[in-house]
């Protein structure tokens, strides 16, 4: 079965993990610091905290920014649930702004409208979580302008876009956002099994994240209120166990070395899709803005199923019978039963996202997708889309 995404693990990855497994440290050893340093080097941030997963990274980002009840945080409805759930964990309220129909990232004009509308009701937006959907950086110049104009913190949920470029800069994410979060889940660009990271240039934010990652406990002499002896530690805040193990970080270090190569392979696969699928009626390919180099975490097709004799579910079933397991990214978050029930969101609230969902199909893209498997995907699409 060909799936929409898959990790690439080679012998050098295995060797790196085994080396740590044979060492004295299984958790919180030297590989943690090394991985953080390498992530800082690659992404241009001053500080990095690696954590147990990308959701924990988002949660810690919100806690570090002091979110709580009555705070409003805006995100996009076309994202993985974690972007929005992490807002709720802190007690804050998630609000959504629709995507723009061209590149499917948060619409900056609608965003500004929404912020102004809330302000007119005396409600201030505390932060924005923008998502570089599918691997395409958002309109970060406009997002930064809006954030500065209205004094709002900016988070880049960068989980889809490691290795992407914005104005030829792979270090774009931390240039524009106050905090950048990453995930190292196996379908993402690099993996540690489960894992994530929080990047920032603010030392206080980083201190807070490091504290909350491990129960709010510190042993640092300069941070302790008193000193009873070498065993002494203090719990200074209510934190979590969001640590990642040393052997996972060893895998991360090894994977990060291959990130450019992984992204190039994804781009090559995308090129083959572009060439083979561009002439099909009722089907449109992902559009890339000119200032962007896409990282292709996903290859989101839009198929006009209204024009088709078969439903989207039939199309999925036919593709499955040809050995291809497609996915949909995403069911709009506001339509999830939990969100409808607790926040009164309903169908029609974000029509562009809802229409995008009806048409969206994510086809397989990952570095080790073979030419013959990709050809099978292309042939099956051509056989099952009537044009």
Ligand X SMILES: *Cc1c(COP(=O)(O)O)cnc(C)c1O
* Contact status, residue 288 vs residue 136, Cβ threshold 8 Å: yes
* Contact status, residue 123 vs residue 284, Cβ threshold 8 Å: no
Handedness of CA 49, 50, 51, 53 (dihedral sign): positive
80 binds ligand X (CB under 6 A): yes
DSSP conformation class of 300: E
DSSP conformation class of 327: B
Q: Which stretch binds ligand X (CB under 6 A): 66-74, 78-86, 97-105, 214-222?
A: 78-86
Q: Which stretch binds ligand X (CB under 6 A): 49-57, 110-118, 261-269, 353-361?
A: 49-57
Indicate which single residue of 54, 94, 135, 252 sits in contact with ligand X (rule: CB under 6 A).
54
Q: Taking the CA of residue 347 as centre, how many other CA atoms within 13 Å lie in the half-sphere pointing to its CB?
A: 3
Indicate which single residue of 59, 185, 189, 294 sits in contact with ligand X (rule: CB under 6 A).
185
Closest CA to 197 of 218, 173, 217, 169: 173
Indicate which single residue of 82, 174, 209, 251 sits in contact with ligand X (rule: CB under 6 A).
82
What φ, ψ does residue 123 adopt, rounded to 5°?
-115, 125
Q: Which stretch binds ligand X (CB under 6 A): 1-9, 52-60, 282-290, 304-312?
A: 52-60
**The token pair that represents 22 in the structure block:** 């044979």
Indicate which single residue of 126, 153, 160, 210 sits in contact with ligand X (rule: CB under 6 A).
160
Nearest-approach distance from CB 358 to ligand X, in angstroms: 20
Nearest-approach distance from CB 148 to ligand X, in angstroms: 24
**The token pair that represents 61 in the structure block:** 């980002």
Integer Cα distance of 110 and 97 in angstroms: 7
Nearest-approach distance from CB 367 to ligand X, in angstroms: 17
Contact code string over 110-149 relative to ligand X, x by CB under 6 A: ---------------------x------------------
Specify whether the backbone of 92 is left (phi greater than 0), alpha (psi in -120 to 50) or beta: beta
* Contact status, residue 198 vs residue 49, Cβ threshold 8 Å: yes
Nearest residue (CB) to ligand X, 185 versus 266:
185
Site size for ligand X, by CB under 6 A? Answer: 14
Indicate which single residue of 36, 71, 98, 157 sits in contact with ligand X (rule: CB under 6 A).
157
Q: Which stretch binds ligand X (CB under 6 A): 77-85, 114-122, 199-207, 256-264?
A: 77-85
């Amino acid at each position: 079965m060909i799936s929409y995404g898959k990790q690439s693990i080679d012998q050098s990855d295995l060797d790196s993990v085994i080396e740590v497994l044979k060492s004295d440290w299984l958790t919180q050893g030297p590989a943690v610091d090394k991985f953080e340093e390498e992530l800082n080097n690659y992404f241009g941030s001053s500080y990095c905290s690696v954590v147990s997963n990308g959701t924990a990274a988002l949660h810690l980002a919100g806690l570090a920014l002091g979110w709580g009840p009555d705070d409003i945080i805006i995100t996009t409805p076309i994202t993985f649930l974690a972007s929005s759930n992490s807002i709720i964990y802190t007690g804050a309220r998630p609000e959504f702004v629709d995507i723009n129909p061209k590149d499917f990232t948060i619409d900056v004009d609608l965003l500004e409208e929404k912020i102004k509308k809330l302000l007119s009701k005396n409600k201030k937006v505390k932060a924005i979580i923008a998502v570089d959907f599918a691997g395409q950086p958002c309109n970060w110049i406009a997002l930064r302008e809006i954030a500065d104009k209205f004094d709002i913190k900016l988070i880049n949920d960068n989980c889809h876009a490691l290795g992407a470029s914005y104005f030829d800069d792979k270090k774009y994410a931390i240039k524009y956002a106050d905090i950048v979060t990453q995930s190292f889940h196996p379908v993402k660009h690099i993996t540690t099994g489960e894992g994530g990271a929080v990047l920032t240039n603010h030392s206080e934010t980083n201190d807070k994240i490091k504290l909350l990652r491990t129960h709010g406990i510190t042993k640092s002499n300069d941070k302790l209120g008193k000193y009873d002896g070498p065993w002494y530690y203090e719990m200074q805040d209510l934190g979590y166990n969001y640590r990642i193990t040393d052997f996972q970080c060893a895998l991360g270090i090894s994977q990060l070395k291959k990130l450019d190569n992984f992204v190039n392979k994804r781009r090559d696969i995308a090129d083959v899709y572009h060439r083979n699928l561009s002439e099909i009626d009722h089907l449109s390919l992902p559009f890339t803005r000119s200032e962007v180099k896409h990282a292709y975490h996903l290859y989101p097709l839009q198929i006009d199923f209204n024009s088709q004799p078969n439903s989207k579910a039939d199309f999925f079933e036919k593709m499955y019978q040809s050995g291809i397991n497609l996915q949909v990214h995403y069911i709009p978050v506001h339509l999830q039963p939990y969100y409808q029930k607790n926040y009164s969101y309903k169908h029609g609230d974000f029509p562009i996202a809802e229409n995008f969902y009806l048409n969206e199909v994510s086809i397989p893209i990952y570095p080790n997708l073979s030419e013959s498997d990709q050809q099978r995907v292309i042939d099956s699409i051509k056989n099952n889309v009537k044009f």
